[in-house]
A and B are shown apart, each in its own frame.
Chain A
Amino acid sequence: MNKRMTTAPAIIMLVIPCAILVAFTHYPAIMALINSFWNNASSRRPSRFAGTENYQAMLADDRLAQVLVNSTIYALGTVPLAIGLAIGMALLVNSRLPGTAFMRLSFFLPTMLPMIAVANIWLFFYAPGIGLASQILGIFGLPSINFLGQTETALGSMMFVAIWKEAGLFMIFYLAALQSVPTNLKDAAKLEGAGRIRVFIDVVLPLLRPTTIFVAVNALINAFRLVDHVVVMTEGGPNNASALLLYYIYEVTFRQRDFAYGATLTVLMVVLLGILAVIQFWLLNRKAHYQ
């Protein structure tokens, strides 16, 4: 046990697997930083050192400014709503109401589907005229709305899709947490005369705190890295209204073939995620003080 490692097993156990990981995580991250200081090579001349040119372009990029605003609204809008819904769903599924199996299926199904399938389903749901959204509006005598085709509604409609897909996954984590809440705590509170709602707020909710931190951080990271629905449903439009940061990176790099600017945006993304990680650390440490 806990022996010193000899060379041969070390190479098999650590060097090979870690080399693959480093080659596609650390190496590209560093390459993005390096490439962000160079401009694009063309057929006539090779890439040359550009200093902070790409970063100056980034600061002057109005589209990027809007993309960052979109991403912020998207993250801050979807994460708390999905978490709130997830807690509600977990309470329902965990309750002794009839039909919990159907509820669990209904809530969890969207999580199982690929985002691309979810996007297709909602594309159809939102389709002006033919989609269910339009038909429901029609029942109430309202004109049909082109949810994805208007700048005012596009981002909100995408957020709705994300919440629909993610809430069920978060529900699972809350379900696990709820089932580990000691019943004697709840019983004690009830003996003291606390109502159901009071028991939930004063006993259960504080115990869900670690789960909420875990879920919130993962949800935030996910809000940055899952943009499949943007590609399929709106391509960032109309007029940039639903473009998110990773989608913008994809568009700049693979549609406009601007790899240097793509690398610069990647650096921005990594920095933003790094800030998220620091906040997570800070929150978790604060939690440790309570215990």
Chain B
Amino acid sequence: MNRGLTKLMLSILTAVFAAVWALPFIYSVWTAFHDERYAANFKWDAPWIFDNFVEAWHAAPFAMYFANTLILITIVLVANLILCTLVAYAFVRYKFRWAGFLFALIMVQLLISPEILIVENYLILSRIGLTNTIIGIALPYLTSAFGIFLLRQTFLSVPKSLDEAAQIEGASTWRILWNIYVPLAWPVYLAYSLVSVSFHWNNFLWPLIVTNSPEVRPLTVGLSVFATVDSGVEWSLVNAATLMTTAPLIIAFIIFQRQFVANFMRAGIK
């Protein structure tokens, strides 16, 4: 009896805590779906409307921002998958001088990431004339130490007998990579892709520095420009725009919740 009561109390406390934790987000959703005059004036029977989203969508070139973000994450993801695979494969399959030193050198990027080096990276970019381009935003991120680390760990666990058998059969280096290593690392590729896509979808400061015209701005920068250009902008519109730009990630998360959490775990455990 006493135990049941404790459990009930704990359940209620937990539910309240979870609800309070979600409150800022819920409040933002509520405002986005209601007329501006209900923003500060909470009423249960206030009518739900979709106008804020339509208005926000037309108030700034969000379609273009979406396209830019999609191009950006595609460039980064494809480059990451290819380049990290190649480097990881080289470390696992070959013996060469300075391998340990080179690996340590690569891992430096985990600590001193491109976000820290905005000053010099901007100077490099302007020297090669790639400021205000999507490729310029992507460039510092094309090779990822995190991806190399993750794939190397995975490739190390591929049974050597498989590799040797393929060699005896006369398979080339590239064929072995493509037919043995890559298929076995499939779950890791998926996990890494999720992390990479959400990171670059969300990245802000570097794209803000690099871009200065709407044609190349990703969503995050576009959203910040929209929300600050005229500070008199209505809160319901800002909230609608905020939700609109993050909706794909939120929906993806709700659909793939289980896999997402599991993959984040796998990606995080080093």
Q: Which chain A residues have a beta carbon within 8 Å of chain B's beta carbons?
A: 1-5, 9-10, 12-14, 16-18, 20-29, 31-32, 35, 92, 97-99, 101-110, 112-117, 120-122, 124-125, 127, 129-130, 132, 135, 164, 169, 172-173, 175-176, 214, 221, 224-228, 231-232, 246, 249-250, 253-254, 259, 262-263, 265-266, 269-270, 273-274, 276-277
Chain A binding surface SS class: helix
The smallest C-beta distance from A69 to any residue of chain B, in angstroms, reads 20
Q: Which 10 A-B residue pairings sit nearest by Cβ, starting from the closest?
A: A28-B120, A114-B202, A24-B140, A13-B90, A17-B83, A176-B265, A130-B40, A21-B143, A106-B22, A262-B119
| Chain B residues with CB below 8 A from A99, complex form | 11, 14-15, 18
Tell yes or no: B67 within 8 A of A by CB.
Answer: no
| Chain A residues with CB below 8 A from B227, complex form | 120, 232
Give 1 or 0 for each of B22-37: 1 = CB within 8 Å of chain A CB.
Answer: 1111011001000000
The smallest C-beta distance from A84 to any residue of chain B, in angstroms, reads 13
Also in contact, A124 and B113, with CB within 8 A (given A1-B93, A13-B89): no
Also in contact, A21 and B109, with CB within 8 A (given A13-B89, A92-B14, A228-B204): yes
The smallest C-beta distance from B105 to any residue of chain A, in angstroms, reads 7
B11 adjacent to A110 (CB under 8 Å): no
Also in contact, A21 and B145, with CB within 8 A (given A2-B95, A117-B245): yes
Query: B94, B115, B219: which contacts A225 (Cβ < 8 A)?
Result: B115
| Chain B residues with CB below 8 A from A104, complex form | 257, 261
| Chain B residues with CB below 8 A from A276, complex form | 111
| Chain A residues with CB below 8 A from B186, complex form | none
- Count of chain B residues with Cβ under 8 Å from any Cβ of A? 90
Extra pairs beyond A135-B40, A232-B227 (16, CB < 8 Å): A5-B90, A5-B95, A13-B90, A20-B139, A24-B139, A116-B223, A116-B224, A117-B245, A121-B24, A124-B31, A124-B239, A125-B27, A173-B269, A231-B224, A254-B122, A259-B119
Query: B7, B124, B143, B253: which contacts A17 (Cβ < 8 A)?
Result: B143
| Chain A residues with CB below 8 A from B164, complex form | 1
Inter-chain residue pair count (beta carbon < 8 A): 254
A250 adjacent to B112 (CB under 8 Å): no
| Chain A residues with CB below 8 A from B139, complex form | 20, 24
Also in contact, A121 and B242, with CB within 8 A (given A28-B117, A108-B261): yes
A270 adjacent to B112 (CB under 8 Å): yes
| Chain B residues with CB below 8 A from A102, complex form | 15, 18
| Chain B residues with CB below 8 A from A25, complex form | 108-109, 112-114, 117, 140
Tell yes or no: B198 within 8 A of A by CB.
Answer: yes
| Chain A residues with CB below 8 A from B242, complex form | 117, 120-121
B205 adjacent to A17 (CB under 8 Å): no
A176 adjacent to B117 (CB under 8 Å): no
- 30 residue pairs of the A-B complex, CB under 8 angstroms, read A1-B167, A13-B87, A17-B84, A17-B87, A17-B142, A24-B139, A27-B124, A28-B121, A99-B18, A105-B257, A106-B21, A112-B198, A114-B245, A116-B204, A117-B220, A117-B246, A121-B27, A121-B28, A125-B27, A132-B23, A135-B42, A173-B265, A176-B268, A221-B111, A224-B116, A228-B204, A232-B227, A246-B118, A246-B205, A270-B112
